[in-house]
Amino acid sequence: MGGSVEGSVGLDLKQSGILVIGGSGGIGSALVDRLCEARATRIVVTSLRPSAAGAHRPGVMVESVDVAELASVRSLAERLKGLDISVVINCAGVNGNRRLRAGDALEIARREMDVNVFGLMNVAAVFAPLLAGRGGGTFMTVLSFLSHVNLPLMASYCASKAAAHSLTQALRAEWRHHGVKVCGVYPTAVDTTMSSDLQGPKQSPADLAANMVAALAGGDEELFPGDAAAAHAEWMRNPKEMERAMAAAVQG
């Protein structure tokens, strides 16, 4: 995807209150930069650590939240009361990069599930009703191409992203009729610290951010940005072949 940000159909970014959860991360901060370029003026950015989100962008409000804790998400919503948030973009996530044979695989998997799966449920439980209550809005989550096929080098991360993808489908079913557009983003590797151990081509965070902003403005429900479009088509053509290709990295 690409094209003009301004003048797109659907969402008027300049008029919207936009919450970027995980906005201190590689993808989140590129997204905030792109939203600023698109002249969005009411942006709230959150990180897990209170000082991580960077106050370097004028007009961007900085908050902290732990998505794994429902009380923390509720408290964030309370602090944002009156801002008329109409777009919630969840870029928060963790990847322990563990295969199932690792000694600490269970502990790592629990944290990935807490943030990537229960974190999504917590954010949706608090913000989807608020979006519906104001007459509608957009709820976007950064999932992964690996929501569709497991890369055993990061097995439990992929499982968490598959679960989050499934929840995203259910959220769409629950909230569509209340005016909430639920959107999933499915990138392949993106060049951030999260993927620093991974070899091979990576999409730049700036490029992904441009794709996401275009998808927001255009109202897409699913976005396969950059190389993810071809990877998804390939997976649809022969899922078993792709499963075998992913498995090859841990065989022997």
Ligand X SMILES: NC(=O)c1ccc[n+]([C@@H]2O[C@H](COP(=O)([O-])OP(=O)(O)OC[C@H]3O[C@@H](n4cnc5c(N)ncnc54)[C@H](OP(=O)(O)O)[C@@H]3O)[C@@H](O)[C@H]2O)c1
Residue from the set 193, 199, 248, 251 that interacts with ligand X by CB under 6 A: 193
Name the phi and psi angles at 184, rounded to 5.
-110, 140
Single out the residue of 16, 86, 138, 195 in contact with ligand X (rule: CB under 6 A).
Answer: 195
Minimum distance of ligand X from residue 252's CB (angstroms): 25
- If binding is defined by CB under 6 A, does position 162 make contact with ligand X? no
| 220 sits near ligand X (criterion: CB under 6 A) | no
Could you tell me the smallest distance in angstroms from the CB atom of residue 25 to ligand X?
A: 2
DSSP SS3 for 106: helix
Cβ neighbors of 132 (< 8 A, separation 6 or more) are 175, 178, 179, 180
Number of residues that bind ligand X (CB under 6 A): 30
Element of type H or E holding 247: helix 239-247
- Note whether 17 binds ligand X by CB under 6 A: no
Binding flag, residue 25, ligand X (CB under 6 A):
yes
- With contacts defined by CB under 6 A, name the span among 91-99, 131-139, 174-182, 236-244 that binds ligand X: 91-99
By the rule CB under 6 A, 168 interacts with ligand X: no
- C-beta of 137 vs 205, nearer to ligand X: 205
In angstroms, the CA 228 to CA 202 distance is 10
User: Can you tell me the distance from the alpha carbon of 114 to that of 120, in angstroms, rounded to the nearest whole number?
Assistant: 9
Contact 6, 40 (CB under 8 A): no
Question: Do residues 123 and 55 make contact, with C-beta atoms less than 8 angstroms apart?
Answer: no
Q: 228, exposed or middle or buried, with CB in 10 Å at 0-12, 13-18, 19+?
A: buried
Q: Which of residues 32-71 bind ligand X (CB under 6 A)?
A: 47-49, 52, 65-68
138 binds ligand X (CB under 6 A): no
Residue 40 or 91: which CB sits closer to ligand X? 91
Please name the residue that has the structure tokens 């998400």.
73
- Residue 226 makes contact with ligand X by CB under 6 A: no
Q: Is the dihedral of CA 76, 11, 205, 29 positive or negative?
A: negative
**With respect to ligand X, which residue has the nearer C-beta, 153 or 178?**
153
Q: Which residues bind ligand X (CB under 6 A)?
A: 22, 24-28, 47-49, 52, 65-68, 91-95, 115, 119, 142, 144, 187, 189-190, 192-195
